[in-house]
Amino acid sequence: MNYLIETIGCQMNVCDSDMLVSIFSAYGASKANNLSEADVVILNTCSVRSQAEQKAFSYLGRVKEFKQKNPCIKIVVIGCMAERLGPNIKKRFSSVDLIIGAKDIGNAALKIMNLFRTDYSAKKVNSEIKSKIVRYITIMRGCDNYCSYCAVPFVRGREVSINCETIVNECSSMVKNGAREIILLGQNVNSYQYEDVNFASLIKKTAAIENLERIRFMTNHPKDLSDDLIKIMATEPKVCPHIHIPMQSASDKILKAMNRKYSYEHYLGLIKKLRTAVPDVSVTTDIIVGFPGETDEDFEDTLKAVKTIRFGGLYVFRYSPRPDTKAAEMIDDVPFEEKKRRHAVVLKESNKISIEIVSEMLGSTQQVLAEEIKNGIIKARTKNGRKVFAEGRKEYIGKHINVNIKEAKINSLFGDIV
């Protein structure tokens, strides 16, 4: 079986796609480079925003045309959109052969291989995934928070934390295979709880793995971010000083309508605590503009917070209603043009701050972990999450190197290895 995987959405989807690659590879299936080489194309989908679903539909449109000329190819849709829309996808695209929702992702590999007469005895290892320097691991699935705009609790189900021993064993084996950085993933990692192991203790157990050099995690919910976690970020050298904490809005009225269960004051207090405990921490965030009922004043509160907090980076989204959510019942009263304006204003401010932050790094020497090399250019990352590019050799991959920063752009730094 030759397979092609197209992944849309968050790092959890990337992680699920990697898991499929590992299983397929173990059973002797091969990765195709393009549609023409593939026996099956797997589209791993996202439902968080309508744009992500539109992207999936246009991809299915392209594959449908391909299938008209190549009827043997199988089309499989997996992930959140598959969970949310289920058989309705087939109504729109009869060319789709199999739909596997996010809640059934653990059985996806087997179900896909069952479309073919795969020789299950063939065992190979996938060197491409296994040798990656940075590996992702899902530590929990689902979400219990029911933010009023979000479809995740409906498509991914209730929160389930994965056995901590399984996680630590899996991380150990990744490190044995060459990983140096592990990213712990979950919709809300702060509420990880497996028996008496909470998230801070899971990090402690993971940090004990020999030869593992860096630990990151995402994503966090402000209401669950504990003092224990801040303490471990401050005291465990393997934990990177980078944290993504979605703020969404700085208006308490809007936060309440979003069902976020914290106030802006609480959020700001967390940032202050973090910055006191971990002075070099980079805090990144998500913001939604144009949520139902967001007035000019509410938006100005959010903009003021962006200026006050000076995030290391942010993702800003224009609100769009997601079916089945509470917010979809509210009146979507901010005109599209105004959403676009607010989006542009936040982005402009954030870019200005980012440029100021990275400009301060010009001329400095940064210790980075070299992750991969392409055409002689090494892609590396600082401990607080900035991407750095420098000319280098493949012997550097997996090692810490020092790079003198010569050029700074919003999302990337460029320099020379010293």
Numbered residues of the known binding site: 10, 46, 80, 143, 147, 150
Q: Indicate the residue among 149 and 299 with the shorter CB distance to ligand SF4.
A: 149
Instruction: Compare residues 101 and 153 and give the one whose CB is closer to ligand SF4.
Output: 153
**Alpha-carbon gap, residue 272 to 276, rounded angstroms:** 6
Nearer to ligand SF4, 220 or 354 (CB): 220
> Smallest distance, Å, CB 41 to ligand SF4?
27
- What's the per-residue H, E or C state across the chain? CEEEEEECCCHHHHHHHHHHHHHHHHCCCEECCCHHHCCEEEEEECCCCHHHHHHHHHHHHHHHHHHHHCCCCEEEEEEHHHHHHCCHHHHHCCCCCEEEEHHHHHHHHHHHHCCCCCCCCCCCCCHHHHCCCEEEEECEECCCCCCCCCCHHHHHCCCEECCHHHHHHHHHHHHHCCCCEEEEECCCHHHCEECCEEHHHHHHHHHCCCCCCEEEEECCCHHHCCHHHHHHHHHCCCECCEEECCCECCCHHHHHHCCCCCCHHHHHHHHHHHHHHCCCCEEEEEEEECCCCCCHHHHHHHHHHHHHHCCCEEEEEECCCCCCCCHHHCCCCCCHHHHHHHHHHHHHHHHHHHHHHHHCCCCCEEEEEEEEEECCEEEEEECCCCEEEEECCHHHCCCEEEEEEEEECCCEEEEEEC
Annotated binding site for [4Fe-4S] cluster: 10, 46, 80, 143, 147, 150
Nearest to ligand SF4 of 153, 392 (CB atom): 153
- Closest contact distance (angstroms) between CB of 246 and ligand SF4 is 7
Q: Which residues bind ligand SF4 (CB under 6 A)?
A: 143, 145-147, 150, 152-153, 187-188, 221
Q: What distances in angstroms separate CA 178 from CA 174, 389, 390, one per listed residue? A: 7, 21, 21
What minimum distance in Å lies between the beta carbon of 161 and ligand SF4? 14
| Least distance to ligand SF4, CB of residue 326, Å | 11
- Residue with Cβ nearer ligand SF4 (84 or 221): 221
Tell me the closest approach of the beta carbon of residue 142 to ligand SF4, in angstroms: 9
Q: Nearer Cβ to ligand SF4, position 104 or 144?
A: 144
Minimum CB separation of residue 102 from ligand SF4 in Å reads 12
Minimum CB separation of residue 190 from ligand SF4 in Å reads 10
Between 120 and 146, CB nearer to ligand SF4? 146
